[in-house]
Chains A and B, each alone.
Chain A
Amino acid sequence: MTEKPTLSVKDLRVGSPFTELLHGISFDIAAGERVGLIGESGSGKSLTATSVMGLLPETLTATGTVSLNGADADLLTAGERRLNQLRGNTMAMVFQEPMTALNPLMRVGAQVAEIMTVHHPDRGRRQARQRAVELLAQVKLPNPAETALAFPHQLSGGQRQRVMLAMAMANDPQLLLCDEPTTALDVTVQAEVLKLIGNLVTDRGTALLLITHDIAVVAEVCQRVLVMYQGDIVEDGPVGRVLTAPQHPYTQKLIAASDLSSVDDRGRLHTMSMPVISTPGAAQSSPGPIQADAAAALTVPPHRAAHQRLEPDGPPVIFNEATGAPAISVRGLSRQYRRRGGGLFAPAPIVHGLREVSFDVAEGQRFGIVGESGSGKSTLMRILCALDQPSSGTVNVLGQSIDGASERQLRNFRSQVQIVFQDPMGSLDPRMRVRDIVAEPLRQVSRAEALARVEAQLAAVGLDADVMHRHPHQFSGGQRQRISIARALITRPRVLVADEAVSALDVSVRAQVLNLLADLVDEYQLTLVFVSHDLGVIRHLCDTVAVISDGRIVECGPTASVYDRPLHPYTQQLVSATPSMHELARRVTS
């Protein structure tokens, strides 16, 4: 007997009065089948899920049919009352943002219990609360009875996402929709949550639609994958086949661009031919560094780091110790924060941001710092850029001592050390024109010369001169990040610090920006400090990597060596949580 599919979507079109966003997509999900839906931002993934749940914004309308369990009723035309019966009961959804998806004023146990009392008013409140605690135990939350009484702000992001899962699974739905469930989480936490999702749906035979931009996530959990591109499903097939032998040109490019370990014959990442204003890396048009400097730099033998780890209870280690005058030299750096409050009379508790960190970065090195949220990597980055002061220890950048330096003493330093921030939207002033943004770091330069330099710099990052008069909101994320890079390089710095510079970008754009960064670092002979949570990105871009955890560098060495033979248990855990594309393909096909 052939079973009816759990979810059947036929010719689903979603649009506003002005444009169509989904162009008639169709797919089925069989009972217990785990399907991934993958695509870039704006491709229509989330719209697909919200259409199924009937939670589209009022301004959008959907046509086509969506049916559950082969029922004749079309969910798109079903009444609100019927949808309320289905939502949270037959189909449930987990959203991306664990920080905001839970009611901050309600205990999490009560929020889990609510989904049961809503659909089964006959069952008692007490029974629902007991069942909520059981569910919290099933999603592997520690001390479920106590956790049930916690408020969301008392839980970590991963724990909140577990609560969301407990809630979604409470009524044993036949279909679970997950919209980027692990995107906001750290890699090690992501791996655990994905495993949990996989186990929950497999044990209960729940059909799964998992939306993500990350192929690795799909490979981890799903059997089949749908690839979305600009409102259409362009490919549909088993995960192993799509990963190893993608049919559609878009999928082929997407997979090539996702693979940070594979490069073309020029050592560059595969990019997708996306419309860019001009070709990136227009090296000829940019005024390069002075030739004599280049010659001098070339005579310096490249520094190669020793591969070291921090032993438990061992002495502090000076990582990547360089001879001569390193670009950055950090010794015994600690940063503590005094938390607000504390008792009425007791002193406020002290939080250790960094403890006894010592390392060097040699001139011209590409130094990656990898760590998860709360590891101290952002604190370290802020101190290196003299945006924060150490509690103790010394920090020396380009011969300038940062600890205790006044803003006046740092003036030269500021033009020598520049930063590219994570958020390409938030780090550009929305009311300034691009030319003013890029020219802002320049001091004592005539207006005409400033404009000439801005134009040359924009050309160097692959943007045409006519973008100068526009405002940041008129650009895509990748273009904005190019503007940030142009702003950082306009003072001809010697050190470039990048804080999660590609984390907010789509896979295809990420590859372009990484190629651009690599070109520019070579061209300007920059010393690069690249802070990221993403091992793949660091592995591609950096020659040396430091792994930071709980305020300490636990391991440091040449990138390949650290990745292939991690010494510290934490590094081993990180590396195994982020498999390469080859590893993924091997796992899904075996």
Chain B
Amino acid sequence: MVLVVLRRMGVFATTVVVASIVTFLMLSILPGNAARIALGVQATEADVAAQATAMGLDRPAVVRYLDWFGRVLIGDFGTSTVSRQAIGPEITDALGITVILVLTSVVLALLFAIPFGILTAVRQRKPDGAILSGISQIGVAVPGFLAGMLLVTVFAVTFRWLPAGGWVDPGENFKEFLEHLILPAIALGSVQGAVLSRYVRSSVLEVMREDFIRTARAKGLGAGRALFRHGLRNAAVPVMTVLGLQIATLLVGAVVIERVFSIPGLGSLLLDKVALRDLPAVQGIVLVLVVFVLALNFLVDLAFTLIDPRLRSAA
């Protein structure tokens, strides 16, 4: 068990290093010279060359990569070529907001998908099951930003119950923090919840046909009890796989949703920096996003190991 966890951590660390190399390479082969961008189009060639030396751009790529990644590991993302300020604190602040938003929407998606998926599976042959199943089918088809705009129109503009956008730090005012969190989290989570509920449904249907459920029934457990005691954990395994895959989608969704609700998260920050052509900042943000996805997938992998004893032995 410990070995398995250690091995997964090794895999995680390796992937992070590979991801950092890919991020670095992608941004260095993009056209455009960071030194020229920093100085503007009017600068002379000599000024640009001097600036490049000052930024260390004349060094070989390997040295630049090691220098950059080495500093990132101790939390130093370098300085912005536009604002001339350290990028690190900006990224950390935005990351905190995005993490809260994404995790809240995952929790909301699960809170919706698990009971809804089970219900539609159990009542598969009944009319209400079919209707609920149809509703989730529609949910899958609605894009997140549209859901967001609808929510704003209804709850913020028409009823004025909740703010239409912006962000309040939880330390500052917790009630307002929640009020600002709820609409974007629902917008982001609703589509994922609908997709997940489809998977929960098919997974539960699959499990209900398993031999060990029949064994449980033969032991004298009622259909519902057999499903809850023996079925759900087994059904969770394929659902977790999908959840792991969805996390990347969720983060892309967060970029859009943060725009819709003007939330100063990583997505907003990334779009701002891309518009300003602030390459060191973009590089840092992309790496953080990639590591965030990898970290969540690592946690999903660990959860797998906890659920399924067959994955615990090293063999």
Contacts and interface: CB of A to CB of B under 8 A. Distances in A.
12 contacts: A87-B220, A88-B218, A95-B214, A95-B215, A104-B310, A105-B308, A115-B219, A341-B313, A341-B315, A342-B314, A342-B315, A349-B315
B174 interface: no
B45 interface: no
Contacts of A343: 3, 314
B128 interface: no
Contact of A86 (B6, B7, B220, B221): B220
Nearest to B220: A88
B151 interface: no
B171 interface: no
A156 B212 CA distance: 17
Given A153-B310, A339-B315, A340-B315, A102 B212 contact: yes
Instruction: Report, nearest first, the 4 A-B pairs whose CB atoms are least far apart.
Output: A88-B220, A88-B219, A100-B211, A341-B314
A115 B125 CA distance: 29
Interface in A337-357: 339-344, 349
Contacts of B28: none
Interface in A30-75: 53, 55, 58
Of A55, A101, A119, most buried by chain B (CB within 10 Å of CB) is A101
Of B6, B219, B229, B233, most buried by chain A (CB within 10 Å of CB) is B219
Given A53-B218, A88-B219, A103-B230, 7 more contacts: A55-B214, A80-B223, A87-B218, A87-B220, A164-B215, A167-B219, A341-B315
B217 interface: yes
Interface in B298-315: 307-310, 313-315
A85 B222 CA distance: 9
Contacts of A95: 211, 214-215, 218
A524 interface: no
Nearest to A92: B218
Interface in A75-127: 80-81, 84-89, 92-93, 95, 97, 100-106, 114-115, 118-119
Contacts of B212: 100-104
Contacts of A153: 309-310
Given A101-B211, A153-B309, A119 B218 contact: no
A86 to B, nearest CB: 7
Contacts of B310: 104, 151, 153
A247 B251 CA distance: 74
Nearest to B308: A105
B202 interface: no
A349 B313 CA distance: 13
Interface of A: 53, 55, 58, 80-81, 84-89, 92-93, 95, 97, 100-106, 114-115, 118-119, 151, 153, 164, 167, 339-344, 349
B178 to A, nearest CB: 36
Of B10, B125, B314, most buried by chain A (CB within 10 Å of CB) is B314
A342 B314 CA distance: 6
A344 B7 contact: yes
A118 B211 CA distance: 19
Contact of B220 (A58, A84, A104, A151): A84
B210 interface: yes
A119 B220 contact: yes
A344 B220 contact: no
Interface string B274-298: 0000000000000000000000000
Given A101-B212, A341-B314, A344-B7, A106 B230 contact: yes
Given A105-B234, A114-B219, A115-B219, A344 B214 contact: no
Nearest to B2: A344
B216 interface: yes
Contacts of A80: 222-223
Contacts of B214: 55, 95, 101
Given A101-B211, A103-B212, A151-B309, A85 B220 contact: yes
Interface string B194-224: 0000000000000000111011111111110
Contacts of A58: 125
A338 B237 CA distance: 28
B220 A89 contact: yes
A84 B222 contact: yes
A118 B234 contact: no
A246 B128 CA distance: 55
Given A101-B215, A104-B310, A343-B314, A118 B220 contact: yes
Contact of A105 (B215, B307, B314): B307
A153 to B, nearest CB: 5
A119 B3 CA distance: 40
Interface string B90-114: 0000000000000000000000000
A428 B234 CA distance: 32
A81 B310 CA distance: 34
